Amino acid sequence: MSHNTIETNRRMNKFDSHDSVWLFGYGSLIYKADFPYIERRPASIANWARRFWQGSHDHRGTPEAPGRVVTLVPEPGAVCHGMAYLITPAVFAHLDYREKNGYLRFASEIVFDDGGSAEGLVYIATSDNEAFLGEDSEQAIAQHIARSSGPSGPNRDYLLSLAMALREMGKHDPHVFEIERHLGDLKD
């Protein structure tokens, strides 16, 4: 599958007729909501784990030297914490462009931290997209992130902003925090 997913996502019309829909963010969408939303709530989704396994050719790297950003990978029993936004379908055009580097819209049950749940959508870059970099050790991922930069800035800023946002939410993510620790070791 091509890493440019804009047209594929435009054909995914499950929520197009809704007045509003919940969007689950687990990476930069936690701390960078550059779109209009009606409501914002801490939330989680089950059976998915956040991993720095997706290449970023357009934000935190370049086509020649992609950075690493997060995607979700299936993991039974896992809980991925993030932020849910109630949006209108008009926001899809912006999000489809923002998430164009391999991410597809998927329907998912979103559980709100303050109780209740709703069906919503989440953007996931699956392993069959051209930008998928795959698994590596947290130390190797930190080294990759340390040397990557793109139009949206240094890859390290993405990692550090995500780690800070998770801490502010009171959520622990061993994968993210271990990469952050290794990145800090590289600066010494």
Which residues are known to be catalytic?
Answer: 99
Per the CB < 8 A criterion, the answer to whether 137 and 159 are in contact is no
CB atoms within 10 A of CB 75: 14
Residue 90 DSSP code: G
Q: Map tokens 């849910």 to a residue.
A: 84
- Helix (H) or strand (E) holding 86, with range, is strand 67-87
Range list of H helices, the chain: 6-10, 28-31, 92-98, 138-146, 155-169, 174-187
Long-range contacts of 5-12 (CB under 8 A, 24+ apart): 5/96, 5/99, 5/100, 5/101, 5/102, 5/103, 5/104, 5/129, 6/96, 6/97, 6/100, 8/104, 9/92, 9/96, 9/99, 9/100, 9/103, 9/104, 9/105, 10/92, 10/96, 12/104, 12/105
Instruction: Give me 62's structure tokens.
Output: 């370049």
